[in-house]
Homo-oligomer: A and B are copies of this chain.
Protein backbone atom coordinates (compact mmCIF):
# COMPACT_ATOMS: atom_id res chain seq x y z
CA UNK A 1 0.00 0.00 0.00
CA UNK A 2 1.52 3.36 -0.95
CA UNK A 3 1.13 6.53 1.08
CA UNK A 4 -0.83 8.94 -1.11
CA UNK A 5 0.28 12.53 -0.71
CA UNK A 6 -3.23 13.89 0.08
CA UNK A 7 -3.13 11.92 3.32
CA UNK A 8 0.08 13.57 4.58
CA UNK A 9 -1.78 16.13 6.72
CA UNK A 10 -3.85 13.36 8.36
CA UNK A 11 -0.68 11.36 9.06
CA UNK A 12 1.07 14.39 10.49
CA UNK A 13 -1.91 15.28 12.67
CA UNK A 14 -2.13 11.85 14.31
CA UNK A 15 1.65 11.65 14.66
CA UNK A 16 1.67 15.02 16.41
CA UNK A 17 -1.05 13.79 18.80
CA UNK A 18 0.91 10.61 19.55
CA UNK A 19 4.08 12.60 20.25
CA UNK A 20 2.26 15.19 22.39
CA UNK A 21 0.72 12.37 24.47
CA UNK A 22 4.19 10.74 24.79
CA UNK A 23 2.67 7.57 23.40
CA UNK A 24 5.42 7.76 20.77
CA UNK A 25 8.83 9.42 21.27
CA UNK A 26 10.49 11.14 18.30
CA UNK A 27 14.05 10.12 17.41
CA UNK A 28 14.68 12.46 14.49
CA UNK A 29 14.21 9.75 11.85
CA UNK A 30 10.84 9.10 10.20
CA UNK A 31 9.36 5.74 11.11
CA UNK A 32 11.73 5.16 14.07
CA UNK A 33 10.13 5.90 17.44
CA UNK A 34 10.54 5.21 21.10
CA UNK A 35 7.36 4.04 22.80
CA UNK A 36 5.90 5.22 26.07
CA UNK A 37 4.47 2.88 28.68
CA UNK A 38 0.86 3.23 27.46
CA UNK A 39 1.84 2.19 23.94
CA UNK A 40 3.85 -0.77 25.17
CA UNK A 41 1.13 -1.93 27.55
CA UNK A 42 -1.40 -2.08 24.71
CA UNK A 43 1.08 -3.70 22.32
CA UNK A 44 2.14 -6.35 24.85
CA UNK A 45 -1.52 -6.97 25.68
CA UNK A 46 -2.38 -7.68 22.06
CA UNK A 47 0.79 -9.75 21.68
CA UNK A 48 -0.35 -11.99 24.56
CA UNK A 49 -3.83 -12.14 23.01
CA UNK A 50 -2.38 -13.51 19.75
CA UNK A 51 -0.62 -16.27 21.67
CA UNK A 52 -3.72 -17.06 23.74
CA UNK A 53 -5.99 -17.25 20.71
CA UNK A 54 -3.72 -19.86 19.15
CA UNK A 55 -3.40 -22.04 22.26
CA UNK A 56 -5.81 -24.64 20.79
CA UNK A 57 -3.52 -24.97 17.77
CA UNK A 58 -0.56 -26.46 19.65
CA UNK A 59 1.96 -24.21 17.92
CA UNK A 60 5.68 -24.37 18.63
CA UNK A 61 6.66 -21.02 20.13
CA UNK A 62 9.96 -19.63 18.86
CA UNK A 63 11.40 -16.16 19.26
CA UNK A 64 14.05 -14.86 16.89
CA UNK A 65 16.17 -11.71 17.17
CA UNK A 66 15.78 -8.82 14.69
CA UNK A 67 18.49 -10.21 12.38
CA UNK A 68 18.58 -13.31 10.16
CA UNK A 69 21.54 -14.89 8.43
CA UNK A 70 22.61 -13.40 5.13
CA UNK A 71 22.84 -16.90 3.65
CA UNK A 72 19.18 -17.66 4.32
CA UNK A 73 18.18 -14.15 3.28
CA UNK A 74 19.96 -14.62 -0.06
CA UNK A 75 18.30 -18.01 -0.55
CA UNK A 76 14.84 -16.59 0.19
CA UNK A 77 14.67 -14.51 -3.04
CA UNK A 78 13.72 -11.40 -1.03
CA UNK A 79 16.28 -9.44 -3.05
CA UNK A 80 14.44 -10.28 -6.26
CA UNK A 81 11.14 -8.88 -5.04
CA UNK A 82 11.90 -6.28 -2.36
CA UNK A 83 15.50 -4.99 -2.67
CA UNK A 84 14.30 -1.48 -1.77
CA UNK A 85 12.97 -2.58 1.64
CA UNK A 86 15.93 -4.66 2.84
CA UNK A 87 18.47 -3.61 5.47
CA UNK A 88 21.92 -5.18 5.47
CA UNK A 89 24.19 -5.01 8.53
CA UNK A 90 27.77 -3.86 8.07
CA UNK A 91 30.75 -3.82 10.43
CA UNK A 92 34.32 -2.52 10.73
CA UNK A 93 37.16 -5.05 10.56
CA UNK A 94 39.95 -2.58 9.88
CA UNK A 95 43.32 -1.79 11.45
CA UNK A 96 44.20 1.03 13.82
CA UNK A 97 45.28 3.03 10.78
CA UNK A 98 41.90 2.45 9.14
CA UNK A 99 40.31 3.58 12.38
CA UNK A 100 42.22 6.87 12.26
CA UNK A 101 40.97 7.40 8.71
CA UNK A 102 37.42 6.48 9.74
CA UNK A 103 37.51 9.08 12.51
CA UNK A 104 38.90 11.73 10.17
CA UNK A 105 35.98 11.09 7.80
CA UNK A 106 33.56 11.33 10.72
CA UNK A 107 35.17 14.62 11.79
CA UNK A 108 35.06 16.14 8.30
CA UNK A 109 31.52 14.99 7.51
CA UNK A 110 32.73 12.38 5.01
CA UNK A 111 31.19 8.94 4.56
CA UNK A 112 32.89 6.91 7.32
CA UNK A 113 30.57 3.99 6.57
CA UNK A 114 32.74 3.16 3.55
CA UNK A 115 34.96 1.44 6.17
CA UNK A 116 32.05 -0.84 7.02
CA UNK A 117 31.55 -4.09 5.11
CA UNK A 118 28.68 -6.56 5.08
CA UNK A 119 28.42 -9.04 7.93
CA UNK A 120 26.79 -12.48 7.99
CA UNK A 121 23.42 -10.98 9.01
CA UNK A 122 20.68 -8.73 7.63
CA UNK A 123 17.71 -7.21 9.41
CA UNK A 124 14.71 -9.53 9.60
CA UNK A 125 12.27 -8.62 6.80
CA UNK A 126 9.29 -10.56 8.22
CA UNK A 127 8.88 -12.58 11.40
CA UNK A 128 8.37 -15.87 9.55
CA UNK A 129 11.66 -15.77 7.58
CA UNK A 130 13.88 -17.40 10.23
CA UNK A 131 11.40 -20.29 10.67
CA UNK A 132 11.68 -21.99 7.27
CA UNK A 133 15.42 -22.87 7.43
CA UNK A 134 14.79 -24.59 10.80
CA UNK A 135 12.31 -27.07 9.28
CA UNK A 136 14.49 -28.34 6.44
CA UNK A 137 13.77 -32.04 5.91
CA UNK A 138 10.63 -34.15 6.07
CA UNK A 139 7.67 -32.96 8.14
CA UNK A 140 5.65 -35.15 10.49
CA UNK A 141 2.19 -36.12 9.29
CA UNK A 142 -0.10 -33.09 9.42
CA UNK A 143 2.83 -30.71 9.05
CA UNK A 144 3.83 -28.12 11.65
CA UNK A 145 2.68 -24.83 13.11
CA UNK A 146 4.85 -22.11 14.64
CA UNK A 147 4.15 -19.05 16.76
CA UNK A 148 6.82 -16.38 16.19
CA UNK A 149 7.20 -12.71 17.04
CA UNK A 150 10.06 -10.41 16.16
CA UNK A 151 11.10 -6.97 15.12
CA UNK A 152 11.11 -6.49 11.34
CA UNK A 153 12.82 -3.80 9.28
CA UNK A 154 11.62 -2.18 6.07
CA UNK A 155 13.41 0.81 4.65
CA UNK A 156 10.50 3.07 3.80
CA UNK A 157 10.72 6.32 5.79
CA UNK A 158 7.27 7.91 5.98
CA UNK A 159 5.35 10.53 7.91
CA UNK A 160 2.60 7.92 8.35
CA UNK A 161 2.95 6.75 11.96
CA UNK A 162 1.60 3.35 10.84
CA UNK A 163 4.46 2.93 8.36
CA UNK A 164 7.36 2.37 10.72
CA UNK A 165 10.77 1.30 9.48
CA UNK A 166 11.16 -1.04 12.44
CA UNK A 167 8.17 -2.76 14.00
CA UNK A 168 6.98 -5.99 15.61
CA UNK A 169 5.05 -8.69 13.84
CA UNK A 170 3.47 -11.66 15.63
CA UNK A 171 2.89 -14.51 13.21
CA UNK A 172 1.53 -18.00 12.99
CA UNK A 173 3.37 -19.98 10.33
CA UNK A 174 1.92 -23.17 8.85
CA UNK A 175 4.04 -25.68 6.99
CA UNK A 176 2.37 -28.70 5.43
CA UNK A 177 0.16 -29.82 2.56
CA UNK A 178 -1.76 -27.35 0.33
CA UNK A 179 -4.93 -28.39 2.18
CA UNK A 180 -3.40 -27.90 5.64
CA UNK A 181 -2.20 -24.50 4.64
CA UNK A 182 -5.45 -23.31 3.05
CA UNK A 183 -7.49 -24.44 6.05
CA UNK A 184 -5.03 -22.57 8.29
CA UNK A 185 -5.43 -19.41 6.27
CA UNK A 186 -9.24 -19.56 6.26
CA UNK A 187 -9.29 -20.20 10.00
CA UNK A 188 -7.06 -17.24 10.82
CA UNK A 189 -8.76 -14.80 8.46
CA UNK A 190 -11.94 -15.44 10.42
CA UNK A 191 -10.22 -15.51 13.80
CA UNK A 192 -8.26 -12.34 13.03
CA UNK A 193 -11.47 -10.46 12.21
CA UNK A 194 -13.07 -11.72 15.43
CA UNK A 195 -10.02 -10.65 17.48
CA UNK A 196 -10.01 -7.15 16.01
CA UNK A 197 -13.76 -6.86 16.62
CA UNK A 198 -13.30 -8.03 20.22
CA UNK A 199 -11.01 -5.05 20.95
CA UNK A 200 -13.38 -2.67 19.17
CA UNK A 201 -11.82 -2.33 15.71
CA UNK A 202 -13.98 -2.40 12.58
CA UNK A 203 -12.09 -4.38 9.98
CA UNK A 204 -12.75 -6.34 6.83
CA UNK A 205 -10.67 -8.56 4.59
CA UNK A 206 -9.36 -7.61 1.17
CA UNK A 207 -7.34 -9.37 -1.49
CA UNK A 208 -3.96 -7.60 -1.53
CA UNK A 209 -0.50 -7.64 -3.05
CA UNK A 210 3.01 -7.15 -1.76
CA UNK A 211 4.96 -3.98 -2.76
CA UNK A 212 7.14 -5.70 -5.40
CA UNK A 213 10.02 -3.67 -6.86
CA UNK A 214 10.05 -2.21 -10.36
CA UNK A 215 8.13 -2.93 -13.56
CA UNK A 216 8.52 -6.72 -13.34
CA UNK A 217 7.13 -6.37 -9.83
CA UNK A 218 3.87 -4.96 -11.19
CA UNK A 219 3.29 -8.27 -12.96
CA UNK A 220 4.08 -10.22 -9.81
CA UNK A 221 1.56 -8.10 -7.93
CA UNK A 222 -1.16 -8.71 -10.54
CA UNK A 223 -0.42 -12.42 -10.47
CA UNK A 224 -0.54 -12.51 -6.66
CA UNK A 225 -3.95 -10.80 -6.69
CA UNK A 226 -5.32 -12.99 -9.48
CA UNK A 227 -4.49 -16.06 -7.46
CA UNK A 228 -5.72 -14.46 -4.20
CA UNK A 229 -2.49 -15.46 -2.46
CA UNK A 230 -2.50 -12.48 -0.08
CA UNK A 231 -5.33 -11.20 2.12
CA UNK A 232 -5.19 -8.25 4.46
CA UNK A 233 -7.46 -7.23 7.29
CA UNK A 234 -7.82 -3.47 6.98
CA UNK A 235 -9.08 -0.89 9.44
CA UNK A 236 -9.07 2.92 9.68
CA UNK A 237 -6.07 4.52 11.36
CA UNK A 238 -5.33 8.01 10.04
CA UNK A 239 -8.12 7.94 7.46
CA UNK A 240 -11.55 6.36 7.21
CA UNK A 241 -11.26 6.29 3.41
CA UNK A 242 -7.77 4.87 2.91
CA UNK A 243 -7.64 1.94 5.31
CA UNK A 244 -4.51 0.39 6.77
CA UNK A 245 -3.61 -3.31 6.79
CA UNK A 246 -3.14 -4.52 10.36
CA UNK A 247 -3.19 -8.27 9.71
CA UNK A 248 -1.79 -10.01 6.65
CA UNK A 249 -2.28 -13.61 5.44
CA UNK A 250 0.18 -14.86 2.85
CA UNK A 251 0.06 -18.16 1.02
CA UNK A 252 3.54 -18.77 -0.43
CA UNK A 253 2.59 -22.01 -2.26
CA UNK A 254 5.76 -24.12 -2.47
CA UNK A 255 8.23 -21.21 -2.58
CA UNK A 256 9.84 -21.61 0.86
CA UNK A 257 9.41 -25.39 0.77
CA UNK A 258 11.40 -25.47 -2.44
CA UNK A 259 14.10 -23.01 -1.30
CA UNK A 260 14.68 -24.59 2.12
CA UNK A 261 14.04 -28.21 1.05
CA UNK A 262 11.03 -28.81 3.27
CA UNK A 263 9.09 -31.98 2.38
CA UNK A 264 5.62 -33.07 3.33
CA UNK A 265 5.28 -36.41 5.07
CA UNK A 266 4.67 -38.03 1.66
CA UNK A 267 7.89 -36.59 0.26
CA UNK A 268 6.39 -33.85 -1.93
CA UNK A 269 7.46 -30.23 -1.50
CA UNK A 270 5.78 -28.54 1.48
CA UNK A 271 3.51 -25.54 1.11
CA UNK A 272 3.61 -22.66 3.60
CA UNK A 273 1.40 -19.80 4.71
CA UNK A 274 1.58 -17.26 7.49
CA UNK A 275 -0.75 -14.86 9.26
CA UNK A 276 0.97 -11.80 10.65
CA UNK A 277 -0.43 -9.38 13.21
CA UNK A 278 1.20 -5.95 12.89
CA UNK A 279 1.48 -5.09 16.57
CA UNK A 280 2.40 -1.41 16.21
CA UNK A 281 -0.37 -0.85 13.65
CA UNK A 282 -3.01 -2.55 15.79
CA UNK A 283 -1.86 -0.44 18.77
CA UNK A 284 -2.05 2.75 16.69
CA UNK A 285 -5.53 1.79 15.44
CA UNK A 286 -6.67 1.23 19.04
CA UNK A 287 -5.42 4.62 20.28
CA UNK A 288 -6.98 6.30 17.26
CA UNK A 289 -10.33 4.57 17.82
CA UNK A 290 -10.53 4.71 21.63
CA UNK A 291 -8.38 7.76 22.47
CA UNK A 292 -5.51 8.24 24.93
CA UNK A 293 -7.53 7.71 28.13
CA UNK A 294 -7.84 4.01 28.97
CA UNK A 295 -10.78 4.79 31.28
CA UNK A 296 -12.82 5.64 28.16
CA UNK A 297 -11.94 2.39 26.32
CA UNK A 298 -14.58 -0.35 25.91
CA UNK A 299 -14.53 -2.69 28.91
CA UNK A 300 -13.96 -5.77 26.77
CA UNK A 301 -10.92 -4.24 25.05
CA UNK A 302 -9.44 -3.23 28.43
CA UNK A 303 -9.96 -6.71 29.78
CA UNK A 304 -8.43 -8.47 26.78
CA UNK A 305 -5.45 -6.11 26.67
CA UNK A 306 -4.98 -5.82 30.43
CA UNK A 307 -5.00 -2.00 30.43
Contacts and interface: CB of A to CB of B under 8 A. Distances in A.
Contact of A32 (B69, B84, B155, B165): B69
B61 A37 contact: yes
B34 A134 contact: yes
A69 B68 CA distance: 21
A128 interface: no
Interface in A48-89: 60-69, 71-72, 74, 79-80, 83-84, 86-89
Contact of A215 (B69, B96, B155): B96
Contacts of A64: 25, 27, 34-35
A166 to B, nearest CB: 4
A303 interface: no
The 9 closest A-B pairs by CB, nearest first: A113-B118, A91-B155, A65-B166, A37-B61, A96-B214, A83-B92, A66-B66, A34-B64, A29-B120
One complex includes copies of this chain to the number of 2
B133 A28 contact: yes
B66 A166 contact: yes
A34 B88 contact: no
**Contact residues of A: prevailing secondary structure:** mixed
A110 to B, nearest CB: 12
A289 to B, nearest CB: 22
A123 interface: yes
B121 A65 contact: no
Contacts of A151: 65-66, 151
Contact of A166 (B67, B74, B214): B67
